Structure 1
Amino acid sequence: MPCPICRKPTVQAYRPFCSKRCADVDLARWLNGAYAIPAVEEDDPDAEDAALPAPRDATS
């Protein structure tokens, strides 16, 4: 399996990378937000409850 950064053969000590440099490049990409896991935003159930009118007091 080649290094995912530079495509050179991997080195056991830095697997799946070929060197510390490529491992650091990958870490920097994660920290800078270059890599992102896609997510689907779900509706906030609390926000829906806030949009509804407050229940009326039975004594009114």
Structure 2
Amino acid sequence: MGSVAQAASGTALVSGSVEGLALDAEATGEVARHVLDAADTVARQSASIGAEVVNRFLATLRAA
């Protein structure tokens, strides 16, 4: 009977570990989505700043 109890205990341990891993994977995915959103925001801002620099440079050339 001891072997059955040990097997059940081991199964519960593994099940808990798998559930923990699933939660960790979900949290990692959520963090990755936030990082991707932040990177997208930075890319858009960078493009906007780049366009502004070009526009100002061209305006300076036209005024010269």
Higher relative contact order (CA 8 A, sep 6+): 1
Common fold, TM-score beyond 0.5? no
Q: TM-score, normalised by structure 1?
A: 0.31
Higher-helix-fraction structure: 2
